[in-house]
Structure 1
Amino acid sequence: MNTIRKPYSVLTIAGFDGSGGAGIQADTKTISAHGCYATNVLTALPIQNTQGVKNIYEIPTEAIREQIQSILEDIYPDAIKIGMVHSVELVNIISEELKDYKNPIVYDPVMVATSGHRLIKKETIAACVEKLFPLATLITPNLDEASVLVNHKIDSTDLMISYGKKIMDLGCQNLLLKGGHLEQEEIVSYLFQKNQSVQSYTSQKIATKNTHGSGCSLSSAIASNLALGFPLSESVELAQKYIEQAILGSKDLTIGKGNGPLNHLFNPQKLKTYDIHN
């Protein structure tokens, strides 16, 4: 019997960020910092820096399908993170290609820009709810995105609890409702799981403009922890602590002229592996 060593791998299906703060760049840094091996599927090519998005070039949808197939047949991931899905066609391709995937999937449903503008159309949101929500082990909307999903502004912890349950009814397996946009000193997020009590997570709100890509990084951190075998609630807790420390590690840095990134590599872990016998 031969024993081979394999790294824990995490695939991210997301867009590009040339400034290195969000998208697949943030995902790759986060996954690497957790000691996992990062693979990528590129879904869009935004032209952006720390000051904002200047343009977006589309990737041919069949190229996205082929990218997913190519990774799955060669470096089968221990977990997958999905970022912004900007078209119904792309929703269909991702759901088709991942329908038989058996490991955890974390879906960060990026729908609303920091400015408050919707980034994807209503029909795409409906397709995401119908096809990606049931597929995902966990979805991680912020309050703006959650408000779009329930068509009601969520701006308090009480509303987070009540509307979080309504989002679960849309077909989620599990939901992490992030409270970073609340006007209060601490950040409170809630984890909803079927047939379990709601869990809360609290972290400090750090005075800094360097939070670009924090949502991408959080979902990638959760996916990395799930790949490593941690239970969901612990994966979320560890990821929240990682993001807090990554923001603290960058709060006094100047990277670009706008909203800078996190310090993803404040405490990078060595590549972690496991044995397979064949």
Structure 2
Amino acid sequence: HTGGISGYTYRDLTDDMRPIMQHWKSLDIKFDAIYTGFLGSFEQQDIVKEFFDMFRTDDNLILVDPVMGDNGELYTIFTREFAAGMRSVCEKADIIVPNLTEAALLLDEPFNGGPYTHAYIENTLRKLADLGPKRVVLTGVFFKEDELGAATYDRETDMIEYVFTRKIPGYYHGTGDVFASALLSGLENGFSLTESAAIAVNFTAESIRRTYEAKTDYRFGVNFEQSFPDFLKELKLV
């Protein structure tokens, strides 16, 4: 991320994406899961949709984190039209992981800053599922000011469940990436949607807590590395 940081450099590799896809296809590479996060342009959205079509199988899982904004605001490089394009990416996903800001953008609705009601969250989850994905995990959910967590929805069972933890003061970059990655780890290791969301909430919250207590520069992300031992125990990998 580049939040709070200036003078950075970057290299746009969009033109390399299709040749890489074709090379992987020529090698008959298969993926257990496909996970997308930040996309920087309409062209990247189109390429990612092509990637889904090229590498989707009956056995793999496509997870889309529709990274576009937070705290009620679009990231400055994006427009409302970009949100409409991201909606078409989400249509091809098995599971999407938006925050409340991104949910409002995907649904083209005004942002609600919370605290939320169960009716609002459950209505939002069902409308997001109507875009196409079978399952939705909505982050940034809270009914009380001292809590924060996620809501899960499985369209096939129509089941909605919640996972919460104690809210830690401050704003931390990269927590959405940490959460979605941990969520996918749970799903790929045989845990249910809600169990995986609980693993992700715990891992993300513990990473934030370490960062808050260490009082390190928030611009450099959260300390997820030292949370790996507990994370691996939850995944029953150690």
- TM-score, length of structure 1 as denominator length: 0.69
Q: Determine the C-alpha separation between the residues in 2 that align with 1:161 and 1:77.
A: 32
The alignment-based identity, stated in percent, is 25
Residue in structure 2 matching 1:205, options 154, 167, 190: 167
User: Structure 1 or 2: larger helix share?
Assistant: 2
1:121 and 2:79 correspond: yes
Residue in structure 1 matching 2:175, options 200, 214, 220: 214
Compute the displacement of 1:69 (Å): 4.7
Residue in structure 1 matching 2:56, options 80, 87, 101: 101
What is the SS of the residue equivalent to 2:223?
A: coil
What is the SS of the residue equivalent to 2:91?
A: coil
Residue in structure 2 matching 1:65, options 2, 15, 18: 18
RMSD value, Cα = 2.9
- Stretch deviating more after TM superposition (67-76 or 156-165): 67-76
Cα 1:60–1:104 change in 2 (3 A) is: same
Cα 1:75–1:207 change in 2 (3 A) is: farther
Residue in structure 1 matching 2:190, options 229, 234, 250: 229
What is the SS of the residue equivalent to 2:137?
A: strand
Aligned residues: 222
- TM-score, length of structure 2 as denominator length: 0.79
Cα 1:128–1:208 change in 2 (3 A) is: closer
Match of 1:266 in 2: 226
Compute the displacement of 1:56 (Å): 7.0
1:251 and 2:205 correspond: no
Compute the displacement of 1:76 (Å): 4.2
What is the SS of the residue equivalent to 2:111?
A: coil
1:179-220 Cα shifts (integer Å, max 9, x gaps)? 2577711114211111322111111101244x2110011011
Q: Which sections of structure 1, spanning at least 5 residues, go unmatched?
A: 1-16, 18-47, 273-278
Cα 1:165–1:66 change in 2 (3 A) is: same
Match of 1:36 in 2: none
Does 1 or 2 have the higher relative contact order (CA < 8 Å, sep 6+)?
1
Any residues of structure 2 matched to 1:44-193 within 5 Å, and which? 48=2, 51-52=4-5, 57=10, 59-70=12-23, 73=27, 76-99=30-53, 100-102=55-57, 103-113=60-70, 116-118=73-75, 119-130=77-88, 132-150=89-107, 151-154=109-112, 155=114, 156-157=116-117, 158-180=119-141, 184-193=145-154
